[in-house]
Amino acid sequence: MPGAFSYIFGVFFSGFFSSILHGAEIFKLAAYHYLLYSDIPNFFGKASIPGWPYVNSQLEYPVLTGLFIRLTAVIGGNLRGYYIANTFFLIAFAAGGTFLLYKMLPLAERGKLWKYWIFAPSMLVFSVYNWDLLAVFCVISAMYSVWRGKDLWAAFFLALGTWAKLYPIFYFLPLILKQNSWRKKSGIVLIAGAVTLALNLPFAIANFDSWAYFFTFNSGRISTFDSIWTVIRWGFPGLQDEKIINSLSLAIFASWYFLAIWKYRKESLFKSWYMATLIFLMTNKVFSPQYLLWLLPFFVVLPAPKYWKFATFEISNLIILIFTLSWFFTGQDLNYFYMSVPLILIKYGMMLGFYRDIGWRKLNYRTFPNVIPSAWI
């Protein structure tokens, strides 16, 4: 079996491919085309505003991602340098995550890294599309900490991940329920609170409205093109009030999330995290294509779906992205949306299938001896 270096080299290739794909115009390799769009160069203007983000500028991302965006702008100096700095760090996060996943997996399972992580379509396309790999690396670091029996370190990395992309906040409840003493439970809460205050309080004091823009922007954001909520709104013309969508989305998520976490509290912690991620993706009004990166570590460490299901899920997402960008950049022709509807339904159907496949299995080491035993604490 290849050593760790082979896997790390592979993920460097994937990241480099993504970087060239989205940076072809920046590097003068091709003329700009909207199908090569990336959020990263699009944010250079905001990232270049002098001073501190959330004090001198507003960003629709949590503070850790905002600080990272500003740091890469300072390091890069210009658009090309900024893009190269982002590429370097994001590929480094992917490589670090690869090494930790490699360490956790038994020898017989390491081949999954190629199919479900390194050469996953979402890794090839989205590793340098947005900043999600920062949060994904924090989550993998938390998984590695749990695997090593260091749950307080897991809390630290989950807190960092929360303020990179928010979704890891839903992993805290399963982590707390796993603890067998109030001392450990309170330790997790204290660490999460300390990291949250350290990252947020200085900016909230300096310019509360600018710091709070992340929350106001996302609470008022309409459902995205490739979200099931947009399909529902299309099918039910009377359901257009965004406040109703917000309330329904939150109510469905909260009830489903708490029921699932309580039901599976005595099983695999990683299973609970995976299911929380699926529930959030299926109920949230915003679904960006790079969110598939959030699921990849769980496909690696848990019993993976059949590859044809995984490939269908990933390819559907990529085709929807093509339709989304075509719709956005060519006058918002609704025919692109109509063509996307079947694929959106397939994508959500696949997620329901993943949830069902993992939900009915009682995951423990005796049942699945080929996966990492420490995951079933």
Give the tokens for residue 251: 């109510």
Q: What pLDDT sits at residue 329?
A: 87
Under 8 Å between Cβ of 83 and 18? no
Q: What pLDDT sits at residue 218?
A: 87
Q: What pLDDT sits at residue 332?
A: 77
Q: What pLDDT sits at residue 318?
A: 96
Q: What is the DSSP letter of 305?
A: P
**Average pLDDT per 10 consecutive residues for the chain, totaling 377 residues:** 84 96 85 84 90 91 96 95 97 97 92 96 96 98 96 98 97 96 96 98 96 90 89 84 88 96 91 96 95 97 93 96 90 86 96 90 50 46
Q: What pLDDT sits at residue 367?
A: 42
How far apart (Å, rounded) are the C-alpha atoms in residues 89 and 127?
Answer: 11
Q: What pLDDT sits at residue 223?
A: 86
Closest C-alpha to 169, from 252, 285, 253: 253
Angle, helices 242-263/269-283, rounded to nearest 10 degrees: 160
How far apart (Å, rounded) are the C-alpha atoms in residues 19 and 333?
Answer: 29
HSE (side-chain half, CA atoms, 13 Å) at 301: 30
pTM, full prediction:
0.94
Under 8 Å between Cβ of 228 and 282? yes
HSE (side-chain half, CA atoms, 13 Å) at 195: 21
Interval 106-161: pLDDT, tens? 988 999 999 999 999 999 999 999 999 999 999 999 999 999 999 999 999 999 99
Give the tokens for residue 16: 């480099």
Under 8 Å between Cβ of 284 and 249? yes
Under 8 Å between Cβ of 233 and 239? yes
